[in-house]
Amino acid sequence: MSLITGHNFIGGQRSAAGTVIVKSVDASTGEDLPYDFQQATAQEVDDASQAAHTAFLGYRTLSAPRKAEFLEAIAEELEALDDEFIGLVCRETALPAARIQGERARTSGQMRLFAEVLRRGDFYGARIDRALPLRQPLPRPDLRQYRTAIGPVAVFGASNFPLAFSTAGGDTASALAAGCPVVFKAHSGHMATAEQVANAIIRAAQRTGMPAGVFNMIYGSGVGEALVKHPLIKAVGFTGSLKGGRALCDMAAARPEPIPVFAEMSSINPVVILPRALSLRADSIATQLAASVVQGCGQFCTNPGLVVGIHSDAFTAFQAEVARLIDDQPAQTMLNAGTLRSYAAGLQHLHAHPGIHHLAGSDQQGRQAQPQLFKADVTLLLEGDKVLQEEVFGPNSIFIEVADPEQLNAAIAALHGQLTATLIGELEDLETFAQLTPLLETKVGRILVNGYPTGVEVCDAMVHGGPYPATSDSRGTSVGTLSIDRFLRPVCFQNYPDALLPDALKNANPLNITRLVDGCHTRDSVRIPDA
Amino acid sequence: MSLITGHNFIGGQRSAAGTVIVKSVDASTGEDLPYDFQQATAQEVDDASQAAHTAFLGYRTLSAPRKAEFLEAIAEELEALDDEFIGLVCRETALPAARIQGERARTSGQMRLFAEVLRRGDFYGARIDRALPLRQPLPRPDLRQYRTAIGPVAVFGASNFPLAFSTAGGDTASALAAGCPVVFKAHSGHMATAEQVANAIIRAAQRTGMPAGVFNMIYGSGVGEALVKHPLIKAVGFTGSLKGGRALCDMAAARPEPIPVFAEMSSINPVVILPRALSLRADSIATQLAASVVQGCGQFCTNPGLVVGIHSDAFTAFQAEVARLIDDQPAQTMLNAGTLRSYAAGLQHLHAHPGIHHLAGSDQQGRQAQPQLFKADVTLLLEGDKVLQEEVFGPNSIFIEVADPEQLNAAIAALHGQLTATLIGELEDLETFAQLTPLLETKVGRILVNGYPTGVEVCDAMVHGGPYPATSDSRGTSVGTLSIDRFLRPVCFQNYPDALLPDALKNANPLNITRLVDGCHTRDSVRIPDA
């Protein structure tokens, strides 16, 4: 493990120009860790953005295999971090070592997956329409399109995945893969972890010969605003609260030059329990659901926060069983004191609401989070009650009982945008309630059948996105290879000499990628008839 | 031609609930045309949005071939409009009949191209990652992703293309192809044209059995704000001024649920004249450039508004020749009185600027636009002068002379975002100035060699987009088949029974489309091993 200096990472150098010190704490004890982190000054925020911009011009045009080498080197450097590092992450986050080891594997696997994407080359979206010199009434010129990096990206990581959604997480990986240098705002909840990971990225950049400034990191509170407003920053990736994400979106939209923000924010991830499944396997559903609610102390964006079922004796019994299981779950330590405070405040809102009843869970007090279960009147959902649709981040869930299938449709239609929705049902249920799928499609980024939404696979087909307030732009995802699209923009070349075209668009197809040529997908080279 | 009633188009019906009448005028005489258009009331804006939302749920899930039939029927209905219609468009816009006939062919061709896209199926972006039940430490579920419609889209057309960028223009075509119903705000400059085109769309919708409300149109000034703020509208397409586009972006960003806006706004489309080309063919470049500047009275988003060359006797002579040609060009009638007023005001700003000198053109007065040529000091560009980078919509251009190749780079680097940039050069020039291409790539949506930016081909490879202020989101295009991406969002299905998946994701690949299956592009069906 490297020495932790707490200095900002700017253009391949370390910088400590300021006077404000911020501290990281032991998540279990609340005690300060023995490191001083230097809050970035306004000049350092500017320097970091300038460094990213300077790196952009060179990094953007590096070949895809060269960028892939960089991502793979990051993966190797992450994997080379030792047990002391794992211990440090556990100390800053109160997450168990096995979880951190698994998360590290996910993080390095994600870097390697993006290296594959770079070599596969479909991210280019290469399209070629050959000239039609004899077309009437006007000839068509030769037109070729590919996608290239949008520019330096500001990334704000999440507290709940100190590796996979943080310094070297999905936003950083997809931005770097797209050809965008990154300025990362270190999360206050795990700054020592962030420093170790940033060092790993810098080592990887150095040994693969990347431009200085391809990755920068700044510490401190309040530095994010200056970063998002910096004219050289061209896009933002964020994972965190609705309040924080919306604030960044508003700042980005109000800039002289507005820039796109992908903020993954708030989701209550409804789980619909269908009748036939309930009649056949209520106990196993109850066990699995309770386990999903409390997994990782409920600190997942995809935690099942709302459970919907149709009124019946079986559903009443099912609620009682889940309540019994939740009552049996132990308290757990949360990521940090702020998260625990927010959880307690969220529970107070639920307790205070006349339409919401407490079903299970010990009084929320002390230094740990108590798992909780509530039940809300369906009219709250139908009438747009805000408390019900607000994510309470932590190990709790809310039951909703609908009168009949018609009211189930109405309840689903009343939901805000979500990351996920889950149907628990037998094939017979899914056919009977077939109308739920098209309805849910308009509400969520991912629909699951007979699974639980916690656990987000990193692959080509994953969508970790969804309509507002799940994210700020339903057209994106922050997990999976499609996430690279957020940081790419198309450029078209008209009548360009072959030698001056980017490799992705040259006649000979030197990258051997699939391209859309005159409307057909092909890896063939492009033949240009003699003029 | 249908009777023009001036009533709003809402959910397949006509509606005239308001009392405010707006008039369309003869663009050449300024006289009112004999039609009364009913400005939509707040209730009618709501009704139109509700109608689009109701249509959405059915239209979104129609098969791609069914949507293609609709688009093709629109193309046929547009082509069936008679000479009286062409005369009406000419009267409202002062554009010549041959241009309108060509633009109609482009508009119907665009509908047919999107029908092809629907049948080709790559717009689905279908991705399948099969389950890995034996993977350690955890199995991978079956995950499948496709893209589906974002929701009802509000479209604001442009004045300068009364067909191709208006009622049935590119934004409408791409939204309908994506599966998004449209609420179109009729452009005040050609409301009678808009009504005829809307009638054609409605006839096409009726004869292909589309849901009522798949296309709606409202008249009036000030109704756009209520439309963009309506909670059931999920995206916006706009072509017009920077001021108008930015206002819509700001409104959309400030909604309780922010929505994406693609606004194509302002571009001065720099043309760089390189030395060797100048030495070989100055006269033909001058002739072509002057023709491009005054073509269609300069009323194109891609009009070449800035011409950059390196100081030399040849460039001085070239400027004189272009000035001579511009002085010879006749005045032309603009689209409407507002456009002429804006042009005159823009010219006044240029005349009043101490760093900008007038090279050619008669005094701007009377009812027509006089072609103009100016020259600006390069320091204005380098120091970020605003007047220089503001689009003056009309038949004029500004010369900039740089001292040397180094200053040329600096001048290009100082440009704001643009729709296009053009290099006029011999192969030798393009090699000598090879650094210009990567620099221009970061500034523009389309780079041309030895062509002129006016004339935007509708095809797969076109990009009519670019960094702000050319558009509000450099990741999009409003011309070409990629424009459909603006109105699509990904949805992922996890462990879904095959029968309940959308056709694009079923094992058997019934649509016979190319899909990304376990990281490989294929049209093969997906085989699932027995459990």
pLDDT, tens digit (0-9, with 9 covering 90-100), for B516-530:
999 999 999 999 886
On the question of pLDDT at B22 being above 90, the answer is yes
In this prediction, residue B265 carries a pLDDT of 96
Q: Given pLDDT bands bounded at 50, 70 and 90, which one contains residue A1?
A: confident
Q: Is A461–B258 a contact, with Cβ atoms under 8 angstroms apart?
A: no
User: By the CB < 8 Å criterion, does A409 face chain B?
Assistant: no
Residue B367: what are its φ and ψ, rounded to 5°? -95, 0
Q: Is B144–A461 a contact, with Cβ atoms under 8 angstroms apart?
A: yes
- Asked if B206 and B199 count as a contact pair (C-beta separation under 8 A), the reply is no
**CA-based nearest distance B353→chain A, Å:** 23
Q: Is A441 a catalytic residue?
A: no
Q: Which residue of A has its CA nearest to B417?
A: A257
- Asked if B235 and B487 count as a contact pair (C-beta separation under 8 A), the reply is yes
In this prediction, residue B531 carries a pLDDT of 54
**CA-based nearest distance B484→chain A, Å:** 12
Candidate from A141, A417, A480 with C-beta closest to B457:
A141
Nearest to A441 by CA among B56, B125, B121: B56
Return d(Cα B203, Cα B206) in angstroms, integer.
5
Residue A478: list chain B partners with CB under 8 A.
none
In this prediction, residue A529 carries a pLDDT of 81
Candidate from A129, A137, A500 with C-beta closest to B461:
A129
Residues 478-497 of A with CB under 8 A from B: 480, 482, 485-486, 488-497
Superfamily of domain B270-449: Aldehyde Dehydrogenase; Chain A, domain 2 (3.40.309.10)
Q: pLDDT for A461-518, tens place per residue?
A: 999 999 999 999 999 999 999 999 999 999 999 999 999 999 999 999 999 999 999 9
Residue B477: list chain A partners with CB under 8 A.
490
Domain boundaries, chain B: 270-449
Residues 112-141 of A with CB under 8 A from B: 116, 120, 122, 125, 127-129, 137-138, 140-141
Could you tell me what percentage of chain A is helix, strand and coil, using 3-state DSSP and rounding each to the nearest 5?
Answer: 40, 20, 40
Residue type present at position B147: R
B192-B60-B124-A62 Cα dihedral, nearest 10 degrees: 60
Q: DSSP for A468-521?
A: TTTBS-TT--SSSGGGGGGGEEEEEEES--GGGS-GGGSTT-TT---EEETTEE
Stretch B217-235: mean pLDDT, rounded?
Answer: 97
Return d(Cα B474, Cα B468) in angstroms, integer.
7
On the question of pLDDT at B415 being above 70, the answer is yes
- Asked if A371 and A399 count as a contact pair (C-beta separation under 8 A), the reply is no
In this prediction, residue A439 carries a pLDDT of 96
Candidate from B128, B257, B441 with C-beta closest to A491:
B441
User: By the CB < 8 Å criterion, does B145 face chain A?
Assistant: yes
Beta-carbon contacts of residue B402 (< 8 Å; ≥ 6 apart): B308, B309, B310, B311, B378, B408, B410, B411
Return d(Cα B417, Cα B266) in angstroms, integer.
9
Residue with tokens 């009434």: A137
- Asked if A486 and A262 count as a contact pair (C-beta separation under 8 A), the reply is yes
Nearest to A170 by CA among A462, A419, A448, A490: A462
**CA-based nearest distance B359→chain A, Å:** 30
In this prediction, residue A527 carries a pLDDT of 93
Q: Is A253–B258 a contact, with Cβ atoms under 8 angstroms apart?
A: yes
Across the A:B interface, residue pairs with CB atoms under 8 Å apart total 216
Stretch A121-136: mean pLDDT, rounded?
Answer: 96
Q: pLDDT for A259-317, tens place per residue?
A: 999 999 999 999 999 999 999 999 999 999 999 999 999 999 999 999 999 999 999 99
Residue with tokens 């009448």: B21
User: By the CB < 8 Å criterion, does A441 face chain B?
Assistant: yes
Q: pLDDT for B164-206, tens place per residue?
A: 999 999 999 999 999 999 999 999 999 999 999 999 999 999 9
Stretch A453-460: mean pLDDT, rounded?
Answer: 94
What burial letters (b/e) apply to A319-336, b meaning 16+ CB within 10 Å? bebbbebbbebebbbbbb
Q: Is A463–B102 a contact, with Cβ atoms under 8 angstroms apart?
A: no
User: By the CB < 8 Å criterion, does B468 face chain A?
Assistant: yes
Return d(Cα B187, Cα B223) in angstroms, integer.
11
Return d(Cα B381, Cα B400) in angstroms, integer.
9
Q: pLDDT for A31-75, tens place per residue?
A: 999 999 999 999 999 999 999 999 999 999 999 999 999 999 999
In this prediction, residue B455 carries a pLDDT of 86
Distance of CA A447 to the CA centre of its chain: 17
Residue A254: list chain B partners with CB under 8 A.
250, 253
Q: pLDDT for B449-506, tens place per residue?
A: 999 998 899 999 999 999 999 999 999 999 999 999 999 999 999 999 999 999 999 9
Q: Which residue of B has its CA nearest to A494?
A: B448
- Marked catalytic residue, from A264, A297, A391, A401: A264
In this prediction, residue A531 carries a pLDDT of 54
Beta bridge partners of B185: B156, B218
Residue B494: what are its φ and ψ, rounded to 5°? -110, 120
Q: Given pLDDT bands bounded at 50, 70 and 90, which one contains residue A222?
A: confident
Nearest to A495 by CA among A462, A528, A448: A528
On the question of pLDDT at A363 being above 80, the answer is yes
- Asked if A176 and A150 count as a contact pair (C-beta separation under 8 A), the reply is no
Residue A257: list chain B partners with CB under 8 A.
417, 467-469
Stretch A93-117: mean pLDDT, rounded?
Answer: 97
**CA-based nearest distance A280→chain B, Å:** 18
What's the CATH class of domain A18-265+480-484?
Answer: alpha beta
